[in-house]
Structure 1
Amino acid sequence: MEWLETLLWDPTSVAHIVCLYAFVISVGVLLGKIKVFGISLGVTFVLFVGILMGHFGFTSETHILHFVREFGLILFVFCIGLQVGPSFSSSFKKGGMTLNLLAVGIVAFNIIVTLAIYFIANGRVELPMMIGILYGAVTNTPGLGAAQEALNQLHYTGDPIALGYACAYPLGVIGIIGCMIALRYIFRINLKKEEDSIKSQETDMRHQPHMLHLEVRNESLEGKTIIEVKDFLARPFVCSRIRHDGHVSIPNQDTVFHLGDQLFIVCSEEDAAAVTAFIGPEIQVDWEKQDMPMVSRRILVTKSEINGRKLGSMHFRSMYGVNVTRINRSGTDLFADPNLVLQVGDRVMVVGQQDAIERVASVLGNQLKRLDTPNIVTIFVGIFLGILLGSLPFAFPGMPTPVKLGLAGGPLVVAILIGRFGHKLKLVTYTTMSANLMLREIGIVLFLASVGIEAGEHFVQTVVEGDGLLYVGYGFLITIIPLLIMGVIARLYYKVNYFTLMGLIAGSTTDPPALAYANQVSGVDAPSVGYSTVYPLTMFLRILAGQMILLTMM
């Protein structure tokens, strides 16, 4: 039975370490799927299983726990950065700016309430533990990891801050959803009216393609070429097909318009009215029954050499005799502007004859198998650069030690930059959503398991004999006070729709269970839109805030 004893208790045995992590993660994930009143803790349950195992003496050597913890954190935040990078700058446009300002207000209030409790408690709770409580209250695990990294820089040897996180987390999830419900009753929200209001609102369709079937009725366009019409109109559009005297052809910029010609026009939503008024009225045309065999087809960009090239530089019309009408990127259709930068993973809608489309497909790649292979080089080059950035010290006047972005902040910043601008450096950042989620989940469960196993030795003593219940109460205040204050401001002053407000609350706390509840209540996708709008900036601020507080105040 010596082999069994070694497997269960020897902290230096590789088999023991792997079995311990496998057990903690598998049991934690399974228990995390259990729902109570429609709410589940998800992978966060891995932390509690790790605490339980650590309490009963199942552990490993400290340096191994630290390595697995930090590597898991790096993998998690880097994949988050790649995901949110492309939408990071666009989330500040128009209505997104208002939502992001409200989210920043929630983050700021969370910090203010945390520091107020810390000073009022007058030293009863150490600052690192208050930061742990803060991140448990807002259910933000990456921030916990970043704060832990900052404490490593400061050589902190006190109680693990994961104890405060674990105490505050469960009531944090309940408090976030509770605030959504409270705001609904405070303002006597009629869900049907809010849903109708969302559906009737004008959305920003600046880059959304709009298809028109028009007949040329403007006499001034007789004999004018397409390029001349575009110059007169000063609005971009694509004429993908033209029917003249019963014959259909694919026009180019020198094609001449005549009265009575029937056109298939693709333009942006905001330009549709102007194009229709200038050219002629909309008509009904069945392009599939015309005499010239043409097809429309989505072609997948899979060749890395196409990544970062502008659509106009490909010269599809002059070289292949086809027209590109729109681009689908991550499920969203974009207008085929010549200045649009192509990325691997884009789906290009091409109209033309079958043989010409086949030639275009060979140029763009159109090989789905290529996308099934993750770009490992980009991931690890990004992690390498992120660690370099995170290790750079930045000295500020009045601060005892230089500030570092650390092993969480550095990779996050680099990943956001690569996700947003990587195509300009010919870096292929595309990964399938399933691959990104897999890497993220592996990273976060490794981190949570390591934190739980290490903190488990002291957890029961802290809760039963120490200030565990106090941590729960502090965390609940940190959760509800900022959300209720900013929720009232958002509703009264900014007139934010309730479903969007639910997404704002879930996104500003980066809390998937709250988003799941909001989607369950709502019949529209407004909660998901609000969540995704504020999530990138909020995650960035959450990860950096705890580090900055600890480095400036300790």
Structure 2
Amino acid sequence: MDWFSQTLLSHSAIQAVIIICLICAIGLLLAKLRLRGISLGVTYVFFIGILAGALGNYFVPDKPLIDPNMLDYAESFGLVIFVYALGLQVGPGFFSAFRKGGTQLNMLSFGVVAVGTLMAMTFFWTGHFSLSEMMGILCGATTNTPALGAAQQALKHLGLNADASTAALACAVTYPLGLIGVIFALMLAQRPLKRIEPEQTKNDAEDEAFIASFEVLNPAIFGLTIAEVAQMDNNLFTVTRLWREGKVLLPQNDTVLQEGDRLLLITQENELKSLTVFFGKRDTTDWNKNDIDWNAIDSHLISERILITKPNINGKKLSSLNLRTRYGVNVSRVKRGDIQLVARPGLILRVGDRLTVVGQKDAIKRVSAELGNTVKTLDEPNMVAIFIGIVLGLLLGCVPLFPGMSYPVRLGLAGGPIVMGILIGAFGPRIHMVTYTTSSANLILRSLGLSMYLGCLGLDAGRDFLSVVMQPQALFWVLIALLITFVPIWIFAFVGVRFSKRNYATTAGMLCGAMANPIALSYVNDTTKGDKASIAYATVYPLAMFLRVIIAQIIVIMSC
């Protein structure tokens, strides 16, 4: 068995991969355990990493468990994969979310950053903690290693190398509590927030398509074409069917509306009241049930979902395809991921979108051939775009934001890839860049990257964790870190839900982004529906991280 012990104990690439994979596997197995329906999820990987690091240091004190260079590489690569895949996931909805309240979310996250920093400086001004200790505690409580790196660089630049080591030690002790502290703070706040959550936000679906039917009773629109009516009203809607004298018609832009016509519309739920006033009357039929047989509504028209798989369609506007004019069909809605979008003319199409098309059977076949509709084509993600995006993200993270400074601020290893992922996910189709990945492929990338990152982070912190925790001073570090973690979260969780009228998922995602805590985001995603938390996280994360990095350097410069 010499080969076995040599493989596990001798530093090599194989040994590093085996140990990291074992840590991830054990942690993910424990993640399935639930206490009263609650699980810490992938956080267990971090704890198993700490345990492995502590045991390795106990049995072999003078030798790290795995090669430090391998550990640093695996930790960095895992983080890059996670944040880039997260950026790709939320990129398509990032800028629309920013227009619909992203500025407000960033102001809330700025408040989280400001309150936490002010609390840390208040404790420093009392004289009980040194500046280096307080910077380490602040970075650990907010799980922000780029800010720690920036603070250490500033301290070393001022010749305070010992203080830089103290900051790293304080961060190592408080970092695990910062990771899980956000989760526990959200656990304790979830029920109270749900009780005060405004009713209109609980099923918030501003972007999603809603199906409704209306009867034309408004004399002001009698005799007008559908195109003229659409220009008169500012509401977003698409007319997909028209009932007249017991017959079903496929409406065109030049179809003239008559009194008593019944229209089937695709719109957004928040437009219903104004559309009811505009058309005259809304009927009570619920068209949003999953069990509706659309092809049974009329005999000569069928409804079919067509998958876009041809790259040449990627990045084109729906109106540029002229499907209604060329084939006599209507596109009623577009499904992108788990979201149903209204098929507005200016909607930019992406590979992977599913178009609901209404029309004659032969016409729909021709539309299907033009768009592709070949599921097998999407089985393989565009890996070239993924690797190029990661390279561009890393380069972006290395660009000095303020070149004139002696130690310029950078977005770093986490900030650059997530910003690039967002940009490519949002604007890639506009330059006909196929960035589509299936939901399962994106989830695998995110899970793999986060597990690697946390396992390696735990290994790194576990080596000195037990010895440092036993020191009396460490207890005060932990208590202060818990306050810096809990207080800003509770304050702005209440402000976000009560005063900013945000739902719990969006507020929680914003808080996770402001605290730079991907583990807490994973917990929120497990306990809420949809991508609202992830979109809010990505909306505030770049600015919040940037602020923390700059503030860390400014505090050191101003206080020394």
* Bin of the TM-score, shorter chain as denominator length: 0.7 to 0.9
Task: Give the corresponding residue for 2:17.
Answer: 18
Alignment partner of 1:431 is 2:433: no
Correspondent of 2:416 among 410, 413, 420: 410
Task: Give the corresponding residue for 2:108.
Answer: 102
Correspondent of 1:301 among 284, 303, 308: 308
- The whole-number CA distance in structure 1 between the counterparts of 2:2 and 2:153 is 37
Alpha-carbon contact 2:23-2:45 (below 8 Å) kept: no
Gaps of 5+ in 2: 286-292
Cα-Cα RMSD: 4.0
1:304-343 matches, within 5 Å, as: 304-343=311-350
Task: Give the corresponding residue for 1:45.
Answer: 47
* CA drift at 1:402: 2.1
Alpha-carbon contact 2:124-2:131 (below 8 Å) kept: yes
1:84-99 matches, within 5 Å, as: 84-94=90-100, 97-99=103-105
* CA drift at 1:126: 2.6
- The whole-number CA distance in structure 2 between the counterparts of 1:161 and 1:414 is 30
Alpha-carbon contact 2:385-2:434 (below 8 Å) kept: yes
Gaps of 5+ in 1: none
Q: 1:225 to 1:112 in 2, by over 3 A?
A: same
Alpha-carbon contact 1:148-1:161 (below 8 Å) kept: no
Task: Give the corresponding residue for 2:464.
Answer: 458
**Alignment-mate amino acid for residue 442 of structure 1:** L
Task: Give the corresponding residue for 1:256.
Answer: 256
Task: Give the corresponding residue for 1:363.
Answer: 370
Alpha-carbon contact 2:54-2:464 (below 8 Å) kept: no
Alpha-carbon contact 1:53-1:453 (below 8 Å) kept: no
Q: Relative to structure 2, which stretch is displaced further, 381-390 or 46-55? A: 46-55
Q: 1:493 to 1:414 in 2, by over 3 A?
A: closer
1:176-187 matches, within 5 Å, as: 176=182, 179=185
- The whole-number CA distance in structure 2 between the counterparts of 1:418 and 1:468 is 43
Cα deviation per residue 1:464-522 (whole Å; 9 max; x = unaligned)?
Answer: 247432332221121123234445655776577778766665564466776788899x9
- The whole-number CA distance in structure 2 between the counterparts of 1:15 and 1:299 is 46
* CA drift at 1:301: 1.9
Cα deviation per residue 1:165-218 (whole Å; 9 max; x = unaligned)?
Answer: 553355446654665577689xxx596x64xx6435697765543434344455
Cα deviation per residue 1:48-75 (whole Å; 9 max; x = unaligned)?
Answer: 2342354244523332222222222211
- The whole-number CA distance in structure 2 between the counterparts of 1:290 and 1:448 is 53
Cα deviation per residue 1:315-349 (whole Å; 9 max; x = unaligned)?
Answer: 11111221011112222222111011111222211
- The whole-number CA distance in structure 1 between the counterparts of 2:7 and 2:342 is 59
Alignment partner of 1:126 is 2:132: yes
Alpha-carbon contact 1:46-1:448 (below 8 Å) kept: no
**Alignment-mate amino acid for residue 252 of structure 1:** Q
Alignment partner of 1:536 is 2:538: yes
**Alignment-mate amino acid for residue 439 of structure 1:** L
* CA drift at 1:381: 0.9
**Alignment-mate amino acid for residue 393 of structure 2:** G
Q: 1:214 to 1:31 in 2, by over 3 A?
A: closer
Alpha-carbon contact 1:162-1:451 (below 8 Å) kept: no
1:26-425 matches, within 5 Å, as: 26-35=25-34, 38-40=38-40, 41-55=43-57, 56-57=59-60, 59-94=65-100, 97-118=103-124, 120=126, 124=130, 126=132, 130-131=134-135, 133-138=137-142, 140=143, 143-144=144-145, 147-148=148-149, 159=165, 164-165=170-171, 167-169=173-175, 171-172=177-178, 175-176=181-182, 179=185, 194=196, 198-199=198-199, 207-217=207-217, 224-233=224-233, 237-244=237-244, 246-282=246-282, 292-395=299-402, 399-425=405-431
Alpha-carbon contact 1:6-1:16 (below 8 Å) kept: no
**Alignment-mate amino acid for residue 145 of structure 2:** L
- The whole-number CA distance in structure 2 between the counterparts of 1:35 and 1:222 is 61
- The whole-number CA distance in structure 2 between the counterparts of 1:203 and 1:455 is 41
Q: 1:235 to 1:60 in 2, by over 3 A?
A: closer
- The whole-number CA distance in structure 2 between the counterparts of 1:467 and 1:377 is 50
Cα deviation per residue 1:344-387 (whole Å; 9 max; x = unaligned)?
Answer: 22221110122221221222222222333122111111111112
Tell me the SS of whatever aligns to 1:28: helix
Q: Relative to structure 2, which stretch is displaced further, 316-325 or 534-543? A: 534-543
- The whole-number CA distance in structure 2 between the counterparts of 1:223 and 1:495 is 42
- The whole-number CA distance in structure 2 between the counterparts of 1:160 and 1:415 is 35
- The whole-number CA distance in structure 2 between the counterparts of 1:167 and 1:26 is 25
Tell me the SS of whatever aligns to 1:89: helix
Q: 1:352 to 1:454 in 2, by over 3 A?
A: same
Cα deviation per residue 1:93-134 (whole Å; 9 max; x = unaligned)?
Answer: 45665444223211222233234444545664636xx55543
Alpha-carbon contact 2:402-2:409 (below 8 Å) kept: yes
- The whole-number CA distance in structure 2 between the counterparts of 1:227 and 1:383 is 45
Alpha-carbon contact 2:47-2:458 (below 8 Å) kept: no
Cα deviation per residue 1:74-104 (whole Å; 9 max; x = unaligned)?
Answer: 1122112222323333333456654442232
Cα deviation per residue 1:430-475 (whole Å; 9 max; x = unaligned)?
Answer: 2222222221222223223333334443223222247432332221
**Alignment-mate amino acid for residue 8 of structure 1:** L
- The whole-number CA distance in structure 1 between the counterparts of 2:33 and 2:213 is 52
Tell me the SS of whatever aligns to 1:27: helix
* CA drift at 1:536: 1.7
* CA drift at 1:278: 4.6
Tell me the SS of whatever aligns to 2:344: coil
- The whole-number CA distance in structure 2 between the counterparts of 1:323 and 1:438 is 36
Tell me the SS of whatever aligns to 1:126: helix
Alpha-carbon contact 1:149-1:406 (below 8 Å) kept: no
- The whole-number CA distance in structure 1 between the counterparts of 2:301 and 2:213 is 17
Alpha-carbon contact 2:201-2:502 (below 8 Å) kept: no
Task: Give the corresponding residue for 2:290.
Answer: none
Tell me the SS of whatever aligns to 2:355: strand
Give the TM-score normalised by structure 2: 0.81
Identity of aligned residues (%): 37
Alpha-carbon contact 2:525-2:531 (below 8 Å) kept: no
- The whole-number CA distance in structure 2 between the counterparts of 1:489 and 1:246 is 53
Cα deviation per residue 1:255-288 (whole Å; 9 max; x = unaligned)?
Answer: 3344444433334445545554454544589975
